[in-house]
Chain A
Amino acid sequence: MYQYDKYDQGMVDARVEEFRDQVRRRIAGDINDDQFKPLRLKNGLYLQLHAYMLRVAIPYGTFNSQQMRKLADIARKYDRGYGHFTTRQNIQYNWIKLEEAPDILAELASVEMHAIQTSGESIRNISADQYAGAAADEICDARPWAELIRQATTFHPEFSYLPRKFKIAVISAQEDRAALRWHDCALRIVHNDKGEEGFEVYAGGGMGRTPFIAYKIRDFLPATQIFSYLQAILRVWNLHARRDNIHKQRMKILVHELGEEEFRRQVEEEFQTFLALGTDFPHAEYDRIAAYFTPPPFETGLAEEIDRSDPDFALWVDRQVVAHKAPGYAIANISLKPAGGIPGDISAEQMDIVADLAERFSFDEIRATHAQNLVLPHVRKADLYALWQALDAAGLASVNLDLVTDIIACPGLDYCSLANARSIPVAQKIAERFADMDRQLDIGELKIKISGCINACGHHHAGQIGILGVDRKGTENYQLLLGGSGAEDTSQAKITGPGFDEAGVVDAVERAVERYRALREPGERFLDTYRRVGLEPFKEAIYG
């Protein structure tokens, strides 16, 4: 993985001291809250329901044992013993004190981490396929490109005061595990007929109050021209964004107001300008960064067989383990969705255990997923049983990847000052309702995503079943949506009808699931059946 050079370290250290001074001035009263707020947000520090919340960046979801142990230390020393993995592959702490925030940032900087651009009107943490560098179905490791873009855009003056936040994702496989087309700008690495590397480019996606699925605006962009093209996209948005209306400032609004063709035309025009300026990187710069992502020294001649004599282990392997590109290795998914637990939450002790296991079994690598789980990307198949035993002892061996209890949920009204309704209790009650393993497996893939407000941090628009919490005359109410997808078959979920109270929405989910089981044809997922039969049969079941 990427390692800071003296310039990276110098910039991050300087930023810590700059923020330390800003905090000192705020506490001393030299600056007021209106002046301080944008400064703290540029360093990932929010003021939430109960305290300050710090969101720490995990670039493209990749980190190592040392960093995980530091995250555990911070949870113990400065927070309340746990952290929460987010849908942007980051981690956040809910109980931070302002006066301690600079010390936390200094501790993060000591392990090459920071909280820069995890908030505010900037290019946010660039997300990627959590299996990048390990996936059997990828054409290359997407992370060097994500890192190159991260370096090129962080602190770039033109991107420091954007109209709104801007989210980028990069993948290199046909299977989309990063919700690609729900991003402002999405890149899929492809090879053209000549075998040259480049990008399919998508633009104008996003969730929130006005959801849009990104258009493909380029079939093939030569890889080395990516920075010119990105600058062109951002330039067009920067020029025309609706800065007069906060609800219309995201690039998705501009793209869809201009229309696909006109937006593409303007981007291509700006692109020619940037190409002429020669601001793209020499390939040597890509090579320099890619060298940090050299595959680990995989052993050869390893056995492919897995001893499945322990039925609980076999169940875990079947659900949580996926194919690796190297013979004899596997990718192990660690669920952060135990029965009755809080999606994405992990205790400091569990963080330490995952760090130990990554060191022991996965070449020191850990990944965070946008579905709020973790991954050990490079595990010898022969080590899977020992890994599973250790995870099981730590309460980290739940079996539910992509099943009905693998629910994405934002922090909701239990923590978030923007939320209108609680998300976590709904997720917990659905998980309890479907706790039976045989029933879960029979239902098969079913991605439920819950947001506590229209900002959609819980990705409800992309849920095969989505739930949106709203405030109805001071009480929590939940709208039910069906038919969304964040995968390669991207689609936007549709609202089924009137909303429910908390207990009612859990019942409604169950009725929708049972209608699917009654209607499905062999091999159909929930989403397949929904797409075949449409909304009406589900509405009948839900509303009677």
Chain B
Amino acid sequence: MRILTGNDLKSGAVIWWTGRDWSIHIEDAVDVGDHGEAILTAEDGARRVNGGYIVDAEASPEGPRPAHIKDRIRALGPTVRADLTLKPADPTAGDWVI
């Protein structure tokens, strides 16, 4: 599957395209098929995303898992500070990244 990501213009937070809006949770990301570039152009123009790009990902019951480790780190947070990730209470969350 192909999903969209970028950073929120004002906060810089990592965000994922949900089909209607942007979410900080990759679990909300949807497959955009071949429409990624068109969506990014529109969203960039509306200043709802900064530096957006298309990510190859694998579908799983827990949600999309990006093919590249960089995007998995972006999705969760730094592997060296579990307390700063989106799942600070889950000690196994980092396994998803590696």
Query: Which residues between 1 and 40 of chain A lie within 8 Å of chain B, taking CB atoms?
Result: 26-27, 29, 33
Query: Which residues between 8 and 49 of chain B lie within 8 Å of chain A, taking CB atoms?
Result: 9-14, 44, 47
Which secondary structure dominates where chain B touches chain A?
A: loop
A99 & B11 in contact (Cβ 8 Å cutoff): yes
B69 & A476 in contact (Cβ 8 Å cutoff): yes
B74 & A49 in contact (Cβ 8 Å cutoff): yes
Q: Does B59 contact A (CB under 8 A)?
A: no
Q: Give bound CA distance, A134 to B73, whole Å.
A: 43
Q: Which of B14, B51, B67 is within 8 Å of A33, CB to CB?
A: B51
Q: Which of A33, A50, A96, A476 is most buried by chain B, counting CB atoms within 10 A of its CB?
A: A50
A97 & B68 in contact (Cβ 8 Å cutoff): no
Q: A29 → chain B, closest Cβ, in Å?
A: 5
Q: Does A51 contact B (CB under 8 A)?
A: yes
Q: Which of B14, B50, B67, B78 is within 8 Å of A415, CB to CB?
A: B78
- Which residues on B sit within 8 Å (CB–CB) of A492? none
Q: Give bound CA distance, A7 to B32, whole Å.
A: 54
B10 & A97 in contact (Cβ 8 Å cutoff): yes
Q: Which of B7, B10, B12, B78 is within 8 Å of A414, CB to CB?
A: B78
- Which residues on B sit within 8 Å (CB–CB) of A96? 12
Q: Give bound CA distance, A538 to B75, whole Å.
A: 40
Query: Which residues between 309 and 359 of chain A lie within 8 Å of chain B, taking CB atoms?
Result: 342
Report the contact-size class of chain B (Cβ under 8 Å from the partner).
20 to 34
B70 & A49 in contact (Cβ 8 Å cutoff): yes
- Which residues on B sit within 8 Å (CB–CB) of A26? 9
Binds B, one of A111-119, A384-392, A420-428, A511-519: A420-428
Closest partner residue, chain A, to B50 (CB atom): A33
B73 & A47 in contact (Cβ 8 Å cutoff): no
Q: A430 → chain B, closest Cβ, in Å?
A: 14
A99 & B79 in contact (Cβ 8 Å cutoff): no
Q: Which of B10, B50, B78 is within 8 Å of A50, CB to CB?
A: B78
Known: A29-B47, A33-B50. A51 touches B11 (CB 8 A): yes
Q: Give bound CA distance, A69 to B63, whole Å.
A: 43
Residues on B facing A (Cβ under 8 Å): 7, 9-14, 44, 47, 50-51, 67-70, 73-74, 77-81, 84
Residues on A facing B (Cβ under 8 Å): 26-27, 29, 33, 47, 49-52, 80, 95-99, 342, 413-415, 419, 422, 424-425, 428, 474-476
